[in-house]
Amino acid sequence: MTVVRALGVESEVELEFSALLEVCWPLRERTGKISPHQAAVLRAALGLGTAAEPPERFAVGAATLALLATAAETEPVLVVVDDAQWLDRSSRDALLFAMRRLQADRVAFVIAVRSAEGDPFDAAGVESLALTGLAPAAAATLIRQNASVARAVADRLYESTHGNPLALIELPGLLSPGQLAGTAPLEEPLPAGSAV
């Protein structure tokens, strides 16, 4: 499987097609297999060629779709986008255009969005799954599998992490034995591990 990636970066949210460049760059050799017009549109949008006028959004989306579909003829393609709330608008539009129109093509998208930050990522018509933290009982079980923690401390860890599994695994290792037992006060705010 060919995996192409893009990372939304807050400081690049105004740079047109910056994320699309990340997705298309590993596939650039395949632009010769799409129509010359679409290849020229895509090259111009990505700053890899020149155009008399700025490319139209529809044309860039169609060229993106053509490139992904062509790449998928050889082997399946997975497009992974992280922090999509920080994608530049033009990249977001082109990727969503392509994603909504894929039919029998062997292309899959995994797009991660932090809903509390940045612009909302409106992907109407696209299947989505909201990932939330663990339920309190599951969080308590996870905490106790990794450390001996007093119930009140486990409750506090759950509240602070909103059930984030990685944080629940990492955080007990950052606390002293007294803090884990509930005999020493917890720091406010709680420490954050390097992975979280």
Determine contact, residues 84/121, Cβ cutoff 8 Å: yes
Mean pLDDT computed over 62-73:
96
Would the pLDDT of 53 be above 70? yes
Confidence of residue 26 (pLDDT cuts 50, 70, 90): very high
Q: Report pLDDT for 116.
A: 66
Q: Could you tell me the two tokens for 137?
A: 């009982």
Helices of type H across 46-176: 57-74, 89-101, 136-146, 151-161, 165-170
Q: Report pLDDT for 190.
A: 81
Q: How are strands ordered across the β-sheet holding 2-7?
A: 2-7, 77-82, 107-111
- DSSP state, 121? -
∠ at Cα 20 (166, 57), nearest 5°?
130
Mean pLDDT computed over 146-162:
90
User: Cα(166)–Cα(4) distance, rounded to whole angstroms?
Assistant: 25
32 by Cβ neighbours in 10 Å (0-12 / 13-18 / 19+) ranks as exposed
Confidence of residue 192 (pLDDT cuts 50, 70, 90): confident
Would the pLDDT of 119 be above 70? no
User: Cα(124)–Cα(153) distance, rounded to whole angstroms?
Assistant: 41
User: Cα(126)–Cα(99) distance, rounded to whole angstroms?
Assistant: 8
- Asked if the peptide bond before residue 189 counts as cis, ω within 30 degrees of 0, the response is yes
Domain limits, the chain: 2-111, 136-181
* Single pTM value for the model: 0.75
Q: Report pLDDT for 43.
A: 93
Confidence of residue 108 (pLDDT cuts 50, 70, 90): very high
Q: Report pLDDT for 93.
A: 94
Tokens 């020493």 belong to residue: 184
User: Cα(62)–Cα(191) distance, rounded to whole angstroms?
Assistant: 47
* Percentage of residues of the chain with pLDDT beyond 70: 95
Confidence of residue 52 (pLDDT cuts 50, 70, 90): low
Q: Phi first, then psi: what are they for 134, rounded to 5°?
A: -65, 155
Average pLDDT of the chain?
90
